[in-house]
Each structure stands twice: as structure tokens, then as C-alpha cells.
Structure 1
Amino acid sequence: MNQSVIKALKLLNYFSVEAPELTLKEIANQAGIPKPTAYRLLSALESGNFLYKTKENEHDSKYRLGLKLLELGQIVSDQLEIRRIALPDMQKLAGDINEVIHLVIVNQDEATYIEKVDSSRALRLNTRIGKSSPLYLGSGPKLLLAHMPLERQETILEKFELHHPVNHGTIDKKALLQELQAINEEGYAYSIGEQDADTTGISYPIYDYSNQVVAALAVSGLSSHFEGENLQELKEKTKATAEAISRKLGYRGPDF
């Protein structure tokens, strides 16, 4: 990471409940750096709304933490809240179907797995809590991408080479966009061997109180388990669990 970025971010640690407002001189002294250097770093933080200047004169300046930190803190809080709310239902679903359960959210232009409940089967998946994945691979990420406006879908897909990591092929963008449209129409996403060979995933959307899709509830397992009547049961139970979590988040959509 750029050393200037690290130095700037470290300056935020000097603010506290006891010291919500600090002068340029105080920050420079605590950081052990010259005032011109401190001023340059603080100005960068100020331009990003991480700090705001409460007073400036020819001798010194005063700073407080900015609203950008409140915005980012709310995002983290929401993520932690959805994990807390979803986990009991995920555990119950895992007990019912004995497959791996994931909770997936959008993180900038990628998908991030923020919760996982394993099955008792001898199955190793290339997923873990905190892992990020392209939004075009796997049922959970694709479901999240499908619920974005078309313009944002196009913007995200233009940033990446649409490469398939399992079969090492190239993903056809036109076909992918058609699949995303089908996901919206059918209400769930389905994938076979996209992140791990011989595995299948199905995902259903989780909505919040504002009727927005905030996460995907994904079930993954050996493809041989996702067939016939068993597939239908997996779909029904996953959908019901996603709806139960959505209700706990305050969703009151047309089907509830």
C-alpha cells in the first residue's frame, strides 16, 4: 500500500471521544512529523470527507472526524447486522439439507462472502468468510449482479476479462446478460461448476425494509445432489429461508 495513504490513515487514530477535535500542531506532535507534512496528509483526508476543518488561521488549524466515516461505519454495521440476523436461519437450513450455505453481498464491484455454514459432507469449496469473487461467477454473485441496473451491470463487466477459472474458457458477455435477465424473471440463480468443479449452486435474494436486494442466500454442493426431486426441495427450502431472513430485515414486499 502507498506509504502516504498509510500515514494519512494513521492520523485518524489520534481522534477519540476524549479528543474529538485536534489542532494541526497536536496531530503533528503526536505523529512525530513536521507540520507541513501533517497539513498535506490532513488536507487529503479532508478532501475525501474523512475529516473536516472546524477552524483555520495563520497559526494553526482544527479538525474533526468527517461524515464519510459515519457512512462507512453504517455500511459495516449493516453487514454485521445482516450476518447476526441471517445466521440462525442459515444454520437451520444447513441442518435440513446438509449442504454448504453462504451469505453473499456486493462489495464495490465484487461479491464478498460474509457468512458460511458448512455441511457434514466431505466437500471442500473454494470459499471462506471474507473471500471476494467476480460478480459473474457463481449463483450468489450472479444473483446480486442481476438485481443491479443494466447500466451498472455493463460498467462492472467492462472492468473484467470474463474468464472461467474452472474450465479456463472465456464467458460470452451477451449470453451472460441474457442469463442475468432470466435470473430476474425466475427469481433465483443457478450455477454449475463455475467456482468449483462438480459443484452446483442455487441462490435466492434477501431484501431489506426498503425492498432492495441486500444479499444472496446461496446453497452449494456436489452436482449429483442437485437433481430431480431433491433439487426441487433444495429450491423450496432455500427460497423459504431467504424470505424468512428478509422478513426479519423488515421486508414487506408483494409476496409477503
Structure 2
Amino acid sequence: MNQSVIKALKILNLFSEETQELTLKEIATQSNLPKPTAYRLLQSLEEMGYIIGHDGRYSLGLKLLELGHLVSHQLDLRQLAKPLMTNLAQSINEAVHLVVLHGDHATYIEKVESRRALRLYTKVGKSAPLYKGSGPKLLLAHLPQTEQMRVLPDESLIEEVEQIRQQGYAMSVGEQDLDTTGLSYPIYNHSGNVVAALTVSGLSSHFEGDHLTFIKVETKKTADEISRCLGYAKKEGHS
């Protein structure tokens, strides 16, 4: 474990509703750190926006508010989407995932299993590059082009990403797991921004013919319903 990180987090944990400001001496004493070490850590935390120092006293910075808002948003999204994801999984009998953008990667923040005996191993918290899999690629397709160019390892993928944006969904075969197919549709928030991908996945043999058509229809319907619950009003030009 990185001891410097642990010490810095220890300092952050000193603050609470009852203790919103602390002096350097109080921080050093309560965290059992030498004053120079506590000061050095406070300087680093302040530089990153996690701590604000003023007139010899320290309080939590706005960066934590930003991170808290992101966590709160993801929790709200999960709670809202979970019942609809469960209905979709029961309807199509495939695994259903909720995927969000997290830096230069996509993170799976919710999952509902299928009823099949053979299940895909995709755990909540899994991270994937934005150019690998239907969910990550869908999120990538809705980023500004400058961001796409920055994370794409191969310019030959630009055309595929643009096609995903135009057609309104992404489909991948064998990109994350052998013999599996993923299908993803966008989830929009009240501002019309894509905030997540609703992804269904299973053995590629299940994603064929009439059943594939059924999966597409049901998945899009569910993604649209989650978007509606987030306050999205469909605009002309969005599929």
C-alpha cells in the first residue's frame, strides 16, 4: 500500500459535519503525523483541489463536491435504471449492463444476469478501453472528435465510431470475450447528453435472425424509457 496516499486520506477523514475547519497543529496531532509531513500532504491536497487553506486553517475543497456529485449521479442512475434493466433481462433472457464514461475508460456500474445456465463473467466495476466493446464504443461515439482522436489507438476506427453515432447503436462481436456479442443503445439526460450505454450481451449464437431483431427493439425501448425518466425529451435527429 502507498503510505503517502493513506496518510493523505487519513487527513481528509478528519473533517466532518462537526469539524469543518482544522489548523495544521490539529491535523498533525489528530493524524499522528509530524508537522512537516502533514504540511507537505496538505500542500499536495490543496494543489489538487481537495483542501482549501486560508489564514492558517484548512477545510475541504470543491473537488470533493464535484466527485460527490458524480457518485450521487451514478447512484441515482443505477437506482432508476435497475428495475427497467431487470424487465429487459427477463424479456430477452440475456445479460444487461449499465456502462458509463470514467476518464479514458468505460466502467460497468450495474448488471442484471440472464436466466441462462451459462453466464458471462462481467462484474460491476469492470473497466474497459473506449475502443473495445459495444458499450465503450457507443460512449466514445458521443464524445467530441478531439477526444475521440486522443483515445483511439488506430485511426481506422474513426469511420466505425462515426457510423455508430449515425445509426444510434453499437454492436460488437468477440471484442471483449470470445464467441460473445454486445449490443448497446444510448441513455440521454435532460440536457440531451449521452450519460450511459445500455448494453446487452450473450453468446453470439443468440444474436441472430428474428431474436436479434427482438433484442434490438426491446433494448432501444428500454434505453428510451430510462432516458425519459431522466427528463430527456426526444429531439428531432436523435434515433
Runs of 4 or more above 6 Å deviation: none
Q: Deviations over 1:20-59 (max 9, x none)?
A: 111110000011112121111111111111111131xxxx
Which residue number corresponds to residue 53 of structure 2?
A: 53
Q: How does 1:133-212 map to 2 (within 5 A)?
A: 133-158=128-153, 173-212=154-193
Match of 1:23 in 2: 23
Cα shift at 1:175: 3.0
Query: In 2, are the aligned partners of 1:123 and 1:221 still within 8 Å (CA)?
Result: no
- What is the CA–CA distance in structure 2 between the aligned matches of 1:109 and 1:90, rounded to whole Å? 25
**Quick one: which of 37, 53, 66 aligns to 1:71?**
66
Gaps in structure 1 of 5+ consecutive residues: 56-60, 159-172
User: Partner amino acid for 2:65?
Assistant: L
1:204, 1:238 within 8 Å by CA — same for their partners in 2?
yes
Q: Which runs of 5+ in 2 are unaligned?
A: none
| Equivalent in the alignment of 2:37 | 37
Instruction: Name the amino acid aligned to 2:10.
Output: K
More deviation in 93-102 or 35-44?
A: 35-44
1:101 touches 1:118 (CA, 8 Å); kept in 2? yes
Q: Distance in 1 between matches of 2:172 and 2:143?
A: 19
- Alignment-mate amino acid for residue 64 of structure 2: L
Q: When the two structures are superposed, what TM-score results if normalisation uses the length of structure 1?
A: 0.89
The one-letter amino acid paired with 1:157 is: L
| Aligned 8 A contact 1:208 1:249 in 2 | yes
Instruction: Give the TM-score normalised by the residue count of structure 2.
Output: 0.96
Supply the distance in 2 between the matched residues of 1:31 and 1:6 (Cα, whole angstroms): 11
Partner residue in 2 for 1:8: 8
How many pairs does the alignment contain?
237
For residues 181-232 of structure 1, what are the alpha-carbon distances to aligned partners after superposition, in whole Å with 9 as ceiling and x for unaligned?
Answer: 0000100000111111111111000000111000000010111111111111
